[in-house]
A = this chain, B = another copy of it.
């Protein structure tokens, strides 16, 4: 005969779900970043954008979005804020009137090099509670998992594709 007992719902339906744990860790990661970097007025997303513009001067917003796997719509606002803080400039591309190319300003390069130690400290702090060997294991598995799930996100990482048009034949 069928089992008609309703499955009892417990908080384990939340606490043991990997999605819940990833959400918690993301919140913790942001909190630690903000705390360590509060002197620099940069968010984690803004930091990632700055790094990418630094390593790919003249990148445009769409390619930037692909290189860090952030949503293109969201990135518009991020870029505006970085521009308002005068950490980057936008220049129209001469050969394509739709495109605006992104470059670091001197202030942007300065803040990026200044913030690095604090970013590193924040990244170290969030893994600190684990034993060193466990940190390595977690980081390796996490890197694998993100990579293997790349296509599942709305904006998959496309670092190679995005670079094809930059600094080469064109």
Contacts and interface: CB of A to CB of B under 8 A. Distances in A.
Interface of A: 6-7, 9-11, 13-14, 16-33, 44, 47-48, 51-52, 54-55, 67-69, 112-113, 116, 119, 122-123, 125-127, 129-130, 134, 137-139, 141-146, 148-149, 152-155, 157, 159
A85 to B, nearest CB: 18
Given A23-B26, A23-B44, A146-B21, A141 B137 contact: yes
Given A17-B123, A152-B126, A26 B32 contact: no
A152 B30 CA distance: 10
A122 B119 CA distance: 32
Nearest to A48: B14
Q: From DSSP, what is the main secondary structure of chain A's interface residues? A: helix
Contact of A29 (B9, B22, B44, B159): B22
A14, A51, A52, A159 interface centre (most CB from chain B within 10 Å)? A14
A138 B145 contact: yes
Contact of A26 (B22, B123, B138): B22
A143 B12 CA distance: 12
A18 B48 CA distance: 13
B146 A28 contact: yes
